């Protein structure tokens, strides 16, 4: 099997990812669904296979087992609790770290030797735990990180300045959570600095709206899923097609011993390298705060 993906956790996020995969041209040949309830994943596999007559890709979807991970290129982890109303991502740490130990152990027992792509929150902690539990090389452990927050940021700037999101060079970096931030000094549109387009007040409002998006969506519809589904497809395709594109994924930062999002090159090897970003002193302080937030959360697990 050339490009097999195994998805563990077929709830809102997992199924949004699966459906987004089927709606695009992708190199994925086979998608294996794993969840707690086998009958449920059988039903999901049937439903997804019934899209294939009209899908631009030919992906075989099956309900599977951990043994299917053996020859998988990517195992996507979207299992675990999601935020209830008023909960932060960090509030999920105890429940989801417990679940992840058994899942990653099962995946590794199969002989898996590919790339993990993590979506479960608290994202940076779960990415770090996947690295520690699996003992795979750090370049092969990728968290979706602030890819979703960055997509929200580019969309919101684009609607304000009326330029395509693709031409907005902007990233959210740091923790995928409350300490994330926008390094505005680095943001540009068509080589022109962002302050030529947006006032300080506009920037602040957009940054707050990005940070509060998940809380707002959860209040209105209970969970977020389509945005992250599309981000996971973007990362999957970057790996399978060896695209070498720059995405703010969560990856291992050896100096600080955390997984955190800064722009990095994503290719067939996983994360090739993190890009150096010239930050102002104020932005450096925000990044340090974000690193410490994740470190403290990991320490709290000991």
Token digits for 104?
A: 């990653």
Complex with ligand NAD: residue 45 or 194, whichever CB lies closer:
45
Check binding of 224 to ligand NAD (CB under 6 A). yes
* Binding-residue pattern over the window 66 to 105 for ligand NAD, x denoting contact by CB under 6 A: ------------xxxxxx--------x---x--x--xx--
Q: Is 237 in the site for ligand NAD (CB under 6 A)?
A: no
Which 163-222 residues touch ligand NAD, going by CB under 6 A?
176
Residue pair 64/33 in contact by the 8 Å Cβ criterion:
yes
Angstrom CA distances, 56 to 20, 49, 82, 143, 271, stand at 11, 13, 31, 27, 28
Reduce the DSSP state of residue 92 to 3 states and report it. helix
d(CA 224, CA 50) in angstroms, rounded, equals 25
User: What track of x and - describes contact with ligand NAD for positions 42 through 61 (by CB under 6 A)?
Assistant: --------------------
Give the count of residues interacting with ligand NAD (CB under 6 A).
Answer: 32
Q: Which stretch binds ligand NAD (CB under 6 A): 8-16, 56-64, 160-168, 291-299?
A: 8-16
Cis status of the peptide bond prior to 218, with omega within 30 of 0: no
Q: Does 144 bind ligand NAD (CB under 6 A)?
A: yes
Taking the complex as a whole, the smallest distance from the CB of residue 227 to ligand NAD amounts, in Å, to 7
277: left (phi over 0), alpha (psi -120 to 50) or beta: beta
Determine, following the binding rule CB under 6 A, whether residue 28 of this chain makes contact with ligand NAD.
Answer: no
Q: Provide the minimum distance between the beta carbon of 40 and ligand NAD in the complex, in angstroms, as a whole number.
A: 7
Q: Which stretch binds ligand NAD (CB under 6 A): 29-37, 65-73, 160-168, 286-294?
A: 29-37
Alpha-helical regions (H) of the chain: 12-22, 38-49, 93-109, 123-134, 147-161, 200-221, 226-240, 281-301
| 248 near ligand NAD, judged by CB under 6 A | no
Distance CA 186, CA 172 (A): 11
Neighbours of 141 (CB within 10 A): 26
For residue 37, what are its two tokens?
Answer: 């309830």
Nearer to ligand NAD, 82 or 189 (CB): 82
- Which of 223, 245, 246, 277 binds ligand NAD (CB under 6 A)? It is 223
* Residues 103-132 close enough to bind ligand NAD by CB under 6 A: 103, 119-121, 123
Q: How many CA atoms lie within 13 Å of 191's alpha carbon, on the beta-carbon side?
A: 0
CB 72 within 8 A of CB 6: yes
Active site residue 176: yes
Contact footprint for ligand NAD (CB under 6 A): 8-14, 34-36, 78-83, 92, 96, 99, 102-103, 119-121, 123, 144, 148, 176, 223-225, 228
Show which residues are catalytic: 176
């Amino acid at each position: 099997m050339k490009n097999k993906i195994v998805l563990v956790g077929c709830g809102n996020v997992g199924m949004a990812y699966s459906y987004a995969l089927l709606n695009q041209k992708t190199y994925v040949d086979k998608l294996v669904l794993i969840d707690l309830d086998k009958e449920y994943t059988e039903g999901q596999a049937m439903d997804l296979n019934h899209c294939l007559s009209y899908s631009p890709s030919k992906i075989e979807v099956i309900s599977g087992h951990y043994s299917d991970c053996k020859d998988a290129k990517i195992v996507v982890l979207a299992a675990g609790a999601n935020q209830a109303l008023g909960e932060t991502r960090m509030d999920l740490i105890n429940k989801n770290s417990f679940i992840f130990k058994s899942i990653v152990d099962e995946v590794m027992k199969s002989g898996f030797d590919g790339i993990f792509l993590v979506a479960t929150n608290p994202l940076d902690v779960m990415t770090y735990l996947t690295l520690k539990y699996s003992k795979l090389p750090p370049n092969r452990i990728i968290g979706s990180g602030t890819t979703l927050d960055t997509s929200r940021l580019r969309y919101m700037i684009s609607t304000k300045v009326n330029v395509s999101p693709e031409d907005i060079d902007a990233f959210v970096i740091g923790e995928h959570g409350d300490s994330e931030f926008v390094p505005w000094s680095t943001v540009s549109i068509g080589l022109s600095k962002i302050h030529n387009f947006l006032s300080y007040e506009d920037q602040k409002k957009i940054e707050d709206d990005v940070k509060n998006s998940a809380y707002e969506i959860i209040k209105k519809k209970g969970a977020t899923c389509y945005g992250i589904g599309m981000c996971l497809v973007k990362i999957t395709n970057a790996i399978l097609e060896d695209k070498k594109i720059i995405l703010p994924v969560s990856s291992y930062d050896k100096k600080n011993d955390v997984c955190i999002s800064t722009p990095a090159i994503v290719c067939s090897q996983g994360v090739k390298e993190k890009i150096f970003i010239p930050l102002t002193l104020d932005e450096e302080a925000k990044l340090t705060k974000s690193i410490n937030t994740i470190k403290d959360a990991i320490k709290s697990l000991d």
